[in-house]
Amino acid sequence: MSDAAPLVLGIETSCDETGIGIVRGRTLLSNTIASSMDEHARYGGVVPEVAARAHLEALQPAIEAAVAEAGIRLDELDAVAVTSGPGLAGALMVGVGAAKGLSVSLGKPLYAVNHLVGHIAADLLTGDDVEYPTVALLVSGGHTSLLLVRDLVTDVEMLGETMDDAAGEAFDKIARILGLPYPGGPEIDRVAASGDRDAIRFPRGLSRASDMATRRYDFSFSGVKTAVARWVEQHEDEGVDIADVAASFREAVVDVLVTKALDACARHDVPRLLLGGGVIANRRLRDVALERAAAAGVAVRIPPLSLCTDNGAMIAALASELIRSGRPESTLDFGADSTLPVTEIQVGVGE
């Protein structure tokens, strides 16, 4: 194997995207994604069993498409990588089964890795020089996490995460309250464009002084969700300006995300912030983060959106870094771990 630039295929099935990525070292060769989002639209959210069925259907064609795009043969691979967790258990297991089948078939090492750390590794595929330590804010429909990355393959610390809904879920739920379709993020963004973000002051979750002592870097979106629902109910007789509600809600979420992320940068004396996860598509979140970070002297990195949403390339990229740093392959007996802690960067590491 080329330890400097290993050829790795990554499989990611933790939520509703079947992601197959192929990298050579830090060079991206393919980032193939099959999404089952449309199938979830009529349910207003990701249905785990629907997602798992779709993964099984999509895997083989997605692997074939990725291999064709990368212009490689499977037997040329140096390793196979897969997400072991966190994520939806039934969905993860489809990827784990496939990765093991492929690894044994090819006789190539298998690296089982952490989904959240994969989001951080995606940044390496931009071709830029990436510096650590960095604070990372990962926001999607499945997770909302604030991490301190001292070293990608050895030292990632969870500073805080959501206590209830992921930010993306909150957008989906508010969209439903406002009569907007799924997925809610882009819809809220669209409607909010013509709204006044200062029209209504919705609560910022876990931002009181007392929270700062105990839950400084954790998030909660249930309070703002309830506040929006109550506001809409109280004002439905006089007619609700959906644009103002959407803009004000979005502002509350963005404010708390950016405030906590930059607070983490300041308190840990880390002048770098990496943004990842599908909610990064939200224009207002990016704008506020860039503006306030600049004022605070923090450099913000935002990989292209195709690398921010769940994808297999980030899983391959993380495995590639593990190989480059001399880590042995995972043993074959790992499973899917829906609550895998972020400190377990690689899974199935022999004692």
Q: Which residues in this chain contact another protein in the complex, by CB under 8 A?
A: 42-45, 47, 49-50, 52-53, 55-56, 59-60, 63-64, 74-75, 89-90, 92-106, 110, 173, 176-177, 226, 229-230, 233-234, 332-336
Residue 56 interface partner, choices Zn ion, another protein, none, CB cut-off 5-8 Å depending on type: another protein
Residue 61 interface partner, choices another protein, Zn ion, none, CB cut-off 5-8 Å depending on type: none
Q: Is 161 in the site for Zn ion (CB under 5 A)?
A: no
- Looking at the Cβ atoms of 150 and 235, the one nearer to another protein is 235
Instruction: List all residues 6 or more positions away from 37 whose beta carbon is below 8 Å from its beta carbon.
Output: 16, 17, 183
Residue 170 interface partner, choices Zn ion, another protein, none, CB cut-off 5-8 Å depending on type: none
- Looking at the Cβ atoms of 181 and 341, the one nearer to another protein is 181
- Looking at the Cβ atoms of 136 and 319, the one nearer to another protein is 319
- Looking at the Cβ atoms of 165 and 310, the one nearer to Zn ion is 310
Q: For the window 286-325, what string marks contact with Zn ion as x by the rule CB under 5 A?
A: ------------------------x---------------
- Alpha helices, DSSP H only, in 108-241? 115-121, 167-177, 184-192, 209-214, 222-235
Residue 310 interface partner, choices Zn ion, another protein, none, CB cut-off 5-8 Å depending on type: Zn ion
3 state SS of 236: coil
- Looking at the Cβ atoms of 86 and 348, the one nearer to Zn ion is 86
CA distance 152 to 218: 22
Q: Where are the beta strands (DSSP E) in the chain?
A: 7-12, 17-24, 27-35, 79-85, 110-114, 134-139, 144-151, 155-161, 272-276, 299-301, 346-347
CA distance 217 to 347: 26
Among 140-148, 162-170, 294-302, 340-348, the segment contacting Zn ion (CB under 5 A): 140-148
Q: How many residues bind Zn ion (CB under 5 A)?
A: 2
- Looking at the Cβ atoms of 92 and 253, the one nearer to Zn ion is 92
The candidate with the shortest Cα–Cα distance to 171, out of 161, 180, 162, 159, is 180
Q: Please state the closest distance from residue 261 (CB atom) to another protein, in A.
A: 29
What order do you get walking across the sheet with 7-12 strand by strand? Answer: 27-35, 17-24, 7-12, 79-85, 110-114, 346-347
Amino acid letter at 213? A
Find the Cα–Cα–Cα–Cα dihedral 215, 203, 140, 163, rounded to 10°. Answer: 30
Residue 122 interface partner, choices Zn ion, another protein, none, CB cut-off 5-8 Å depending on type: none
- Looking at the Cβ atoms of 30 and 140, the one nearer to Zn ion is 140
Q: Please state the closest distance from residue 27 (CB atom) to another protein, in A.
A: 23
49 phi/psi in degrees, rounded to 5: -65, -35
3 state SS of 37: helix
Q: For the window 167-186, what string marks contact with Zn ion as x by the rule CB under 5 A?
A: --------------------
Tokens of 88: 């939806």
DSSP 238: T
Q: Please state the closest distance from residue 231 (CB atom) to Zn ion, in A.
A: 30
Contact residue for Zn ion among 18, 30, 134, 140 (CB under 5 A): 140
Interface with Zn ion (CB under 5 A): 140, 310
